[in-house]
Structure 1
Amino acid sequence: MEEQKDFDILEMPAEGLAAYWLSIKKLIDVKRNKKVLEEEIRYTREPFIKFLLETAFSDMDEDTLRRLAESKTKTLVDEYSRKLATMQISLLAMSSQENPRISFVRMASQYPTSIISEKKAFTLAHSLLDGLFEKESDRTVLLEFDHKLQPDRLLVKMLFHIILSRKEGKQQLEQLVAHIKTPYYANGITQVIDGFDHRVLKANLSVQGNEILKYSARKMEMAAEMCMGIRAKLSYDDIFRIARAYMP
């Protein structure tokens, strides 16, 4: 079994997530052993799904499991919220050609503790900028952008984008788009390049960010309920009914 590198609850549609849990139900019913879950836990990188697999089939009582699932949801939604907030700051900074130092302070302030010093962040960001114009550079690695990156790496990448936009112009951002794996950020950069009015861009990013967070929390709730249903040994049809309750 290959590692599920692209399995991501933040961007996965509810239908795809429901299909995943239904497939888990089928595998458990057919194989009737714990090896199915052990393999899923081993190869699944998605944090919320991994958490459910590791805890829901343990000996803990259902009330405790539900409280833990709710806590994990809040923790991950908070993390996603901070990352989306820093992305919005970065995109708006590129739009307005804001001073990168101001942008850095605003992005770093989204975190309760310091994730990287200003000096180190700017040193790394300028190194990325220098690498962009070196023929020997691996652009795939250099320009990779994914919300799953650690916060410090994500912040450095965005600082690099802000500096690039300010020094070389917004059109230079075009080369980044193909390497951005987070649609929210890729769409935002495209709007910056196209010259969207700053107020329109801010409104778009704010609305979309809020909807992404609400939808993600809802998907986590659905995943937890389906997982609990599997734990309770409900039928495949009943697990499917749980999924349908979370879809239009």
Structure 2
Amino acid sequence: MADIKHDFDLLEMPVEGVAAYWLSLKKLVGNKKNFKPIHEEAQHTSEEYIRYLLEIGFGNFSEETIRKMAQVKTQTMLSSMERRFDCMRVAVLDVATVENPHRSVAKLYADFPQAPLPGDKAIRFAQELLRLMPDKYKGRERFFDVGYKVPDDKLIVALLFYIFYARHEGKDACQALLPLISSVYFRDALSMVIDGFDVPFVRKWLKKHKEALLKDMQFKCAMSTELCIGIASRMDYEDLHSIARAYLHSNGGTQSV
């Protein structure tokens, strides 16, 4: 049986890895008419977009409908990711400038049509996390995580905590918490602030890197859609491989799959 990686993060997995995943699925099902292994894979895959494709791609939808549905799903995901990246950007810059957390709340909520939770409650929860420092947070590490998959209300509280903590203890104090952060985007930017990079540089990096991450994610979603449709239409493995190679080459990829 082909080696399938069920749990992965589409954002952080390189495009070569995403292509290899779909090619492994093709080896698993071959040219069989029965897609039961695909339906089982959907039940065990935690990656949201991949699971969605597995659910819609092997039923009765036409290729055109699958592409339209996948495009809507991509746009929805990218919009949510961009909002969370923007919140991380606000928090990193407010850590760097030692901003008043009460002002930070207003900035963070500017990206939301409705507040994820009342501002005063978010402040109170963040202050409760602050009281767990420096040695009472063991066993509660998840509350200090910042990631694009973290629910909006918990993300806001975690970001406010870092703003509070840096204001009370200094930016360098955040160094010990870096391993608790799942978002490479937030962790790298916060590391720059801790290392003393100037604010204009960090601001520019946050903007450019967010654009690069979202563009890469959109590309991997598009490739996944086409490879999914190829498997569903029982395309030969070599032809599916050619589609994957075309995406790798157009994305500047150099590794083989």
Q: Tell me how many residue pairs correspond in the alignment.
A: 247
Partner SS, residue 233 of structure 1: coil
Partner SS, residue 64 of structure 2: helix
Q: Partners of 1:237 and 1:2 in 2: how far apart? A: 19
Q: Partners of 2:194 and 2:140 in 1: how far apart? A: 20
1:230 aligns with 2:231: yes
Say whether the 8 Å CA contact 2:4–2:25 is kept in structure 1. Answer: no
211-220 vs 35-44, which moves further: 35-44
What are the Cα deviations for residues 12-67 of structure 1, in whole angstroms up to 9, with x where unaligned? 11001001000111111187633311221111111110110000111011111111
State the percentage of identical aligned residues.
Answer: 35
Unaligned runs of 5+ in 2: 253-257
Q: Which residue identity does 1:22 align to in structure 2?
A: L
What are the Cα deviations for residues 91-118 of structure 1, in whole angstroms up to 9, with x where unaligned? 0110111111111111111122221110
Return closer, same or farther for 1:39/1:208 CA change in 2, 3 Å cut-off.
same
In the TM superposition, 1:30-179 aligns within 5 A as 33-135=34-136, 137-138=138-139, 140-179=141-180
What are the Cα deviations for residues 126-158 of structure 1, in whole angstroms up to 9, with x where unaligned? 111111234474253343333211111111101
RMSD: 1.9
Partner SS, residue 234 of structure 2: coil
In the TM superposition, 1:2-13 aligns within 5 A as 4-5=6-7, 7-13=8-14
Partner SS, residue 131 of structure 2: helix
In the TM superposition, 1:183-198 aligns within 5 A as 183-198=184-199
In the TM superposition, 1:22-37 aligns within 5 A as 22-29=23-30, 33-37=34-38
Q: Which residue identity does 2:185 align to in structure 1?
A: Y
Return closer, same or farther for 1:216/1:242 CA change in 2, 3 Å cut-off.
same
Return closer, same or farther for 1:211/1:2 CA change in 2, 3 Å cut-off.
closer
Say whether the 8 Å CA contact 2:15–2:220 is kept in structure 1. Answer: yes
Say whether the 8 Å CA contact 1:52–1:224 is kept in structure 2. Answer: yes
Q: Which residue identity does 2:156 align to in structure 1?
A: L
